[in-house]
Chain A
């Protein structure tokens, strides 16, 4: 049991929570229409302030990733297109982070491409379900 939250305290926590939820949605861990944990439960799990979780949920609703039903809770959006769009957005961000990181290590474009290809061919590409990821 650790006291520290799982988040980096140097950047706004509510944004990190939003990213975490988006990640889970796009990765399929939270299906469309599925109910999100209550604000309180999520706050305890993440070791953060419930108001911070509340804010994350509110911002996600504004971005139309989730919707709230009075008295019932907050649910993942059923809008497939919306989720796909966010998925693409997360992908670009990941790519950007990767490329930026590689550049800062001094690698050139061709070398970066090479790294990606090599990994895809030889690396551990088995998913958590044991199946080969294509």
Chain B
């Protein structure tokens, strides 16, 4: 079993605050990891470090044996929790632009997802509603056959009808045999059935980690129930 991601003693400090304080983790091919925790627990920081958008204060990150950099970025797809696409571009231009940098971009998948998500191709990104903007980000992320997929709050601030589409899209387009996926969220209920393993992050450290089903058995409740208990 190939490990796609390895974190060793990962630490990140911002000023005097330790956003991450010693994370050890291994994510294998085919795994879907739920990265759970309230806002400010370090989820976004962890994903940013893996994506190469921030540098570790200490510790190691290996993506398929490589440190984060231009090479790992070619195989990592990240959906950030902010709107990061140029507002002056149209949706069409945005997709053309982003797809041009990745060999693993699947245009057929993109077409399917665009249709599913009902995205206006000629609208300017700056004019998109919150829900549509989130769906566009998802198209850009899931159209890639990336080895490591990082989703940071893919359901954040989305109305329930849009949430359906997003979870459905993630479930159908996920390339189980070749990819690993990490989904960071605090909205657990809608998406927990997709998780293989879950990692609860509390104040930058691992509070709980294990297989979703095993935890269900052990705690006699849903992952959401466990979440409430851990972060009460």
Contacts and interface: CB of A to CB of B under 8 A. Distances in A.
A57 interface: no
A44 B193 CA distance: 11
A104 interface: no
B190 interface: yes
Most B C-beta atoms less than 10 A away, residue of A2, A9, A40, A46: A9
A14 B171 CA distance: 17
Interface stretch (A29-37, A48-56, A82-90, A117-125): A48-56
Contacts of B222: 8-10
Interface string B13-41: 00000000000000000111000000000
Contacts of B213: 12-15, 52, 55
Contact of B171 (A10, A15, A39, A44): A44
B159 to A, nearest CB: 12
A76 B18 CA distance: 53
A38 B131 CA distance: 33
Given A44-B171, A50-B176, A9 B191 contact: no
B32 A9 contact: no
Interface stretch (B49-57, B133-141, B162-170): B162-170
A15 to B, nearest CB: 8
The majority secondary structure among interface residues of chain B is helix
Contacts of B193: 4-5, 7, 9, 13, 46-49, 52
Interface string A7-28: 1111111110000000000000
Contact of A51 (B167, B168, B176, B217): B176
Given A4-B189, A4-B193, A52-B213, A47 B220 contact: no
A122 to B, nearest CB: 39
A105 interface: no
Interface of A: 1-5, 7-15, 39-40, 43-44, 46-52, 55
Given A9-B224, A10-B221, A12-B213, 15 more contacts: A1-B165, A4-B190, A5-B193, A9-B192, A9-B223, A10-B225, A13-B212, A39-B176, A43-B176, A44-B171, A46-B193, A49-B193, A51-B176, A52-B193, A55-B213
Interface of B: 30-32, 163-168, 171-172, 174, 176, 189-196, 212-214, 216-217, 220-225
22 contacts: A1-B164, A1-B168, A3-B163, A3-B167, A3-B190, A5-B193, A9-B223, A10-B220, A10-B221, A10-B222, A11-B216, A13-B216, A15-B213, A40-B176, A44-B171, A47-B193, A48-B194, A49-B194, A49-B212, A50-B30, A51-B31, A51-B32
